[in-house]
Structure 1
Amino acid sequence: MLGDPQRGLLTGRLARGCELCYAGLKAVIFITGVCDENCYYCPVDRDRFGRSVIYVNDERAHSLDDIVREAERQGATGASVTGGDPLADLPLTLSLIRGLKAAFGPEFHIHLYTPGRYATPDALVALWRAGLDEIRFHPVRGDYLKGVEYAVRLTRMRVGAEIPIAPGLEGWAKEVIRFVDSVGGHFVNMDEMEFAEPNREALRLRGLRPSDSRQAAVRGALRAAIEVLRWAEGNVKVPVHFCPVSYKDLVQVRNRFRRTAMRDLRWYELPLPDGTVARGEVISEGGEVLGYFRPGGAVELREGERARVVVSYPTQSREPVVCEAESEDPGEALRECVT
């Protein structure tokens, strides 16, 4: 077993989609919130779930052009397509895949998540022919596993499963892994189950509790994952990967933000190590923005003016703001936000 519990554990080679996510090179495309499953642990926000809405890197999108612009801003070399269930709107998903390949070329790597309800042979072949490189099944019902077999047999996509792991799910995880291995699948990912606002009450009703030491994770999920990984090492050949909740913030999102910030930096912004950006604002006594300066650089303030340093995520809107500090000393304002 390789890796560490904060960044991931695995029994074999990481899937290509995961490699690119790790480096912050994947644009995350939420193609639809429509999904006909009702998973108690689903972390999708209620303002997205069940709705025909599109987001890319959490930016609202209304067209393929919006998606392409955000992927270009990020410098993405691939995309992960998620939801909801992308196959619940197959024509839209096929159009997206074709559009991304046309815009960025055949090497632009695209992987997709689906429960498998609509993973018919015809749908899977259509996805492959459109250019999908990798498909990840979340088989909430046993008969959905058939989609894994269809995809392996009928296409040349990389095929695997991606499932949550928590105490009580060890047997199900082993069943899924054994099936993927038996049909020639290429990988299985286990995601550490997380507490999020949409699923918090449902998890508590099932006796699950937040971890004391692993932020947002379900208590005991790491222990359950290690049990399954040790079993997999001796019983199957398919690579199995454990993706912890901490990985998203410590690695995936942070690397994506760093990459985006460096490509989309404004003259008055300073990139910070965690992927956020700091901008300097000269403000009046009433809080009106009079001008900008780059934090850490020299700025002259007139009587009544103050310096404000604002730290935000490198989204197009520069929201949300994570820190604001005002001072007559620009250096002091910066130190307030970065210490």
Structure 2
Amino acid sequence: MISRSEIKGDKRLALVLGKMEKGCELCFPGLKAVIFVTGICGDNCYYCPISKDRFGKDLIYINEEKVSSLEEVTLEIERQGAMGASLTGGDPLTKFPRTLKIIKMLKDRFGKEFHIHLYTSGRYATPDVLVSLWKAGLDEIRFHPVKEEYKKAIEYASKLTNMRVGAEIPIAKGLENWAIKVINDVEKYGGSFVNLDEMEFVEPNASALISRGLNEDKRRPFTAKGSIEAAMKVLEWAKLNSNIYIHFCPASFKDSVQTKNRFIRLAKNDKRWYEEITSYGTVIWGEVNINDKIIRFNPKNMNLYKGYSVKILESHPTRSRIPIISEETIDI
């Protein structure tokens, strides 16, 4: 092996050995729509962060919005102005006909340049399935190595298609050797990259992580303590021992950059006259009851309602605008 280039980036945003895949590049400016194809999954990973409301249930979400038809998916992508989409779950391949239909639909609607990547364990990734995904228009596939099947899936995808092929795994203290093994396997079987996601420490997986000796980082809520240090060890190893691209994605990036930028794009494209967009990408507005009629107003115009009790509400820029923070009542 030859010595790799230096590790580039910022621990708070991203660390890269080589370069990022396009699927990740589009996330930074909020140009990737997130399509939750189904909550059905053939595996049950102890570190899975998927909520109980979704895991194991056949539901479809687009950018945190539950939908009942695939047409709603395209409408949401148009509302966002996205240039690509990630297909996730659960495992999208448990609903293969639906996944195939979504890929074809997005390519037909938004063109060949619309970038699509997909996450799967590889359990259901037969040669026929992989070739069908590629012919439908899938650009990039990311395997999660739960079972040994993922190795053959990487090999099939690399040999039979022109998709970008790699793996994506969580990283935390104690998982360094596993990550190194995955990097070796991906390179051996023809893949091109491995993404390391900082282990999220959230309600669905907290008990399982604690039982394995992991704790939440009090300085960085919702992350497993020691994850960044573990990622650095793996990157330093890969710099000297691997020739594929390695990307570390901190959990803080997803909230402070990826999700925020996506929400800001959505909010700007769908801002209602009475709303203000916050620096976090949420929208806020005021409500006042006058003669049993609810009147919405821009918070900047609060002084127009002196003498009334007004409510200030906040929501993600979803179509439903369901408030995410307890409403605040203010007497003016």
* Structure 1 runs, 4 residues or longer, greater than 4 Å off: none
Which structure is richer in relative contact order (CA contacts within 8 A, separation 6 or more)?
2
More deviation, 80-89/179-188: 179-188
Identical residues among aligned pairs (%)? 54
SS in 1 for 2:305: coil
Deviation at 1:307, TM superposition (A): 3.3
Deviation at 1:292, TM superposition (A): 2.2
Deviation at 1:289, TM superposition (A): 5.2
- Provide Cα deviations, 1:174-197, integer angstroms capped at 9, x if missing partner: 111112223332211001111111
Equivalent in the alignment of 1:20: 26
Deviation at 1:273, TM superposition (A): 1.4
Whether 1:290 aligns to 2:288 is: no
Deviation at 1:300, TM superposition (A): 2.7
SS in 2 for 1:282: strand
Deviation at 1:308, TM superposition (A): 2.9
Answer whether contact 1:307 1:327 (CA < 8 A) is retained. Answer: yes
SS in 2 for 1:227: helix
- Provide Cα deviations, 1:98-157, integer angstroms capped at 9, x if missing partner: 111112111111100000001111100000001101100001123321111111111011
Deviation at 1:75, TM superposition (A): 1.3
2:118 partner amino acid: L
Deviation at 1:202, TM superposition (A): 1.2
| Distance (Å, rounded) in 2 between the aligned partners of 1:211 and 1:271 | 30
Answer whether contact 1:24 1:257 (CA < 8 A) is retained. Answer: yes
Equivalent in the alignment of 1:236: 242
Question: Alignment partner for residue 256 of structure 1, among 224, 238, 262?
Answer: 262
Structure 1 residues 72 and 289: alpha-carbon distance in aligned structure 2, compared to 1, 3 A threshold: farther
| Distance (Å, rounded) in 1 between the aligned partners of 2:315 and 2:85 | 24
| Distance (Å, rounded) in 1 between the aligned partners of 2:47 and 2:70 | 30
SS in 2 for 1:22: coil
Equivalent in the alignment of 2:114: 108
Equivalent in the alignment of 1:67: 73
Q: TM (normalized to structure 2)?
A: 0.94
| Distance (Å, rounded) in 1 between the aligned partners of 2:56 and 2:259 | 25
| Distance (Å, rounded) in 2 between the aligned partners of 1:255 and 1:23 | 6
Answer whether contact 1:313 1:322 (CA < 8 A) is retained. Answer: no
1:25 partner amino acid: L
Whether 1:143 aligns to 2:146 is: no
- Alignment gaps of 5+ in structure 2: 1-6
SS in 2 for 1:300: helix
- Alignment gaps of 5+ in structure 1: 330-339
Deviation at 1:230, TM superposition (A): 0.4
SS in 2 for 1:151: helix
| Distance (Å, rounded) in 2 between the aligned partners of 1:82 and 1:158 | 16
2:270 partner amino acid: D
| Distance (Å, rounded) in 2 between the aligned partners of 1:30 and 1:298 | 38
Equivalent in the alignment of 1:6: 12
Equivalent in the alignment of 1:337: none
